[in-house]
Amino acid sequence: MKRFSKNNLIRMALLAGGAALVAKVIGAKKEQWTGLSESEVRHKVESGLPDKVAGEKRAAVADKVVATMKTRGLLDEDADETATEVSGHVESDIAVEADSDDEPSN
């Protein structure tokens, strides 16, 4: 049976710790994106892209991300439908709420 030196054991421990850290970070990122509505995902993707990316390419990237998340079952399909049924448009509700907060009440 081969004996491991102290240096090899330290390297293996560091490698295992690094792998555990990467897995934890990826799991946290996945949890942040899971359950978002389609419009929230699109907004998050488009806001994360640099300003020099053209609008058409932003939309294409967002479409690909949304399609991938749909196939994996990570999107909350009901959130967009409920918001659209209530108001007809998701972003307009957010803008109206923000505007109403700025107005002073009498």
Domain boundaries, the chain: 1-33, 35-97
**pLDDT value of residue 78:** 64
**pLDDT value of residue 21:** 97
Low-confidence ranges of the chain (pLDDT < 50): 82-100, 106
**pLDDT value of residue 87:** 41
**pLDDT value of residue 23:** 97
**pLDDT value of residue 36:** 86
What pTM was computed for the model? 0.52
**pLDDT value of residue 2:** 66
Compute the distance between CA of residue 76 and CA of residue 38 in angstroms, rounded to an integer: 7
Alpha carbons within 13 angstroms on the beta-carbon side of residue 100 total 6
Burial-class residue 62 by CB neighbours within 10 Å (0-12, 13-18, 19+): buried
Q: What angle do CA 71, 55, 37 make, to 5 degrees?
A: 35
**pLDDT value of residue 59:** 87
Alpha helix stretches (DSSP H) within the chain: 6-33, 38-48, 55-72, 77-87, 90-102
